[in-house]
Structure 1
Amino acid sequence: MINVDVRPMSRAEFDRWQIAVVADYAQEQVTAGNWTADEALRRSEEANRAFLPQGMDTPDMVFLLGVLADGTTIGRLWIGLTHPRGVAHCAYLYDIEVVAEHRGQGLGRALLTAAERTARKHGARALELNVFGYNTTALNLYGSSGYRVTTQQMRKDLRTDLESAADPAQADDAVRTSSP
């Protein structure tokens, strides 16, 4: 495995990262079907402010860049040293991302290992994260790295072709009249 070191983000790096992480999270929520495109950026900004009320200086939050031995930045980490739901001795990985041009080289696993090492160094006995169900690459990485599902949300899209009609009442009538 490639060795990835981590270093704290500078203030300028944090500011650039925060813009990117808000936009990325908004898009993830849209892709997952949780938010509409119209509301996503606003909701993502609100969530970010709630988690980081003091920005980079929010207590128990660690913001790191993953770097190779030659100094090349290959990714980013946001680790909460206290769990958002109060799980004892469990850190939380809010964000892990390998820079696009460095993906597919095993660096995600190396960055995840660096996150685990950092959490352990700060006294955590476990590290938890959330992954969207559509992100099969991440699901495979976490599963093969020893992470197990602790909770799971599932959804089924109940829309029909008829519901996409201009008049929702007509769609309801069509469904009722076609039922046995």
Structure 2
Amino acid sequence: MTPAEYPDWLASERAACVGDVVRAGVLSPEDAVRKADRDFTELVPEGLATPDNTFLVFEAAGEQIGTGRLRHDHLPGVTCGYSLHLHEQHRGNGYGRAAMAAGEQATLAAGDSALMSTVWGGNEVAMNLYTSAGFRVLEERRSIDLPRIPGIPRG
């Protein structure tokens, strides 16, 4: 990723993060925006120069088809794939698998021996991609919205 590509990537990632959190039913849109702002300020404080991060742009036939970000040594010896996004019109053509292979190469080049990723609930396409690529589920969380009981404060 180049410095010229970074601002668009960051704006797109923030919007995707908000969408994922809202779609999963975790937060309201307003709270999801605040969370995304906090998260990106913390996770990539130095932009492209943030240590232990790899920012990727995936191209095919000279056209950008997607992006990704990896955080190396997230846990000892483990790279975490924080994002992998392919433009919708390029999905289903094998590019997701190719992007994951690039992530595996970047993981090994950084000295890590494992690659993990988080997929928000409701993103069946990503879940299927990771499963088909041999990733296994390590942790799964589920939630339910409970009715508010009058007279009992939240907090």
**Shared fold by TM > 0.5?**
yes
Partner SS, residue 12 of structure 1: coil
For residues 113-172 of structure 1, give each alpha carbon's deviation from its aligned partner in whole angstroms, at most 9, with x where no partner exists.
Answer: 11111111221100011001211111111111111111111113334xxx6xxxx649x9
Q: Between Structure 1 and Structure 2, how many residues are aligned?
A: 152
**Hey, what does 1:20 align to over in structure 2?**
12
> Would the aligned equivalents of 1:49 and 1:55 in 2 still touch at CA under 8 Å?
no
Partner SS, residue 156 of structure 1: coil
Q: Output the CA distance in 1 between the equivalents of 2:145 and 2:35.
A: 22
**Hey, what does 2:127 align to over in structure 1?**
139
Aligned residues: CA RMSD:
1.7
Larger Rg: 1
> Would the aligned equivalents of 2:54 and 2:106 in 1 still touch at CA under 8 Å?
no
> Would the aligned equivalents of 1:75 and 1:97 in 2 still touch at CA under 8 Å?
yes
**Which of the pair is proportionally richer in helix?**
1
Q: Output the CA distance in 1 between the equivalents of 2:132 and 2:92.
A: 15
**TM-score, L = length of structure 1:** 0.78
> Would the aligned equivalents of 1:77 and 1:95 in 2 still touch at CA under 8 Å?
yes
Identity of aligned residues (%): 31
Equivalent runs, 1:119-130 vs 2, <5 Å: 119-130=107-118
Amino acid at match of 2:129: L
**Hey, what does 1:34 align to over in structure 2?**
26
Q: Output the CA distance in 1 between the equivalents of 2:93 and 2:114.
A: 26
1:72 alignment partner, one of 63, 66, 72: 63
**Hey, what does 1:4 align to over in structure 2?**
none
Partner SS, residue 51 of structure 2: coil
**Which of the pair is proportionally richer in strand?**
2
**Hey, what does 1:5 align to over in structure 2?**
none
Equivalent runs, 1:161-180 vs 2, <5 Å: 169=150
2:45 alignment partner, one of 41, 53, 70: 53
Q: Output the CA distance in 2 between the equivalents of 1:44 and 1:156.
A: 22
> Would the aligned equivalents of 1:89 and 1:123 in 2 still touch at CA under 8 Å?
yes
Gapped regions of structure 2 (runs ≥ 5): none
> Would the aligned equivalents of 2:70 and 2:80 in 1 still touch at CA under 8 Å?
yes
> Would the aligned equivalents of 2:79 and 2:114 in 1 still touch at CA under 8 Å?
yes
**TM-score, L = length of structure 2:** 0.90
Quote the offset at 1:31 in angstroms.
0.9
